[in-house]
Amino acid sequence: MTEVVICVGSSCHIKGARRVVEGLTKLVKESGMSELVKLSGSFCMGRCEEHGVSVKVDGEIHFVDPDHVEEFFRDVIMGSWK
Ligand code: FES
């Protein structure tokens, strides 16, 4: 099970956290990965200055552009199983 925690603090909210949440939720569902990926939200991760929304994948933090959620899902989340 891959744990994905999306920051929904105010700074990430402004950067499009909602689109990241919605995009990942959809991609996980569409790819039939609901059993393998656990999505949750978190308050500020202390990395507001970074470009992109803070998202932790199994404890490792990434900064996600809401326009590139699909690439993030494919390369980082699915990539973590290789
Ligand atoms: S609000 Fe997301 S890292 Fe601060």
Which ligand 1 atom is the nearest neighbour of the CA of 10?
Answer: 1
Q: How far is the CA of 54 from the centre of ligand 1 (A)?
A: 6
**Spatial separation of the C-alpha atoms in residues 58 and 40, rounded to whole Å:** 12
Q: How far is the CA of 55 from the centre of ligand 1 (A)?
A: 9
Across 47-61, average pLDDT = 97
Domain boundaries, the chain: 2-81
CATH code assigned to 2-81: 3.40.30.10
At 35, the pLDDT band (50, 70, 90 cuts) reads very high
Query: Under 8 Å CB-to-CB from 54, ≥6 apart: which residues?
Result: 6, 7, 9, 12, 45, 47, 48, 61, 62, 63, 64
Are the C-beta atoms of 17 and 6 separated by less than 8 Å? yes
Across 52-67, average pLDDT = 97
Query: Which residues approach ligand 1 with their CB closer than 6 A?
Result: 7, 9-12, 44-48, 54
Q: How far is the CA of 76 from the centre of ligand 1 (A)?
A: 20
Across 41-63, average pLDDT = 97
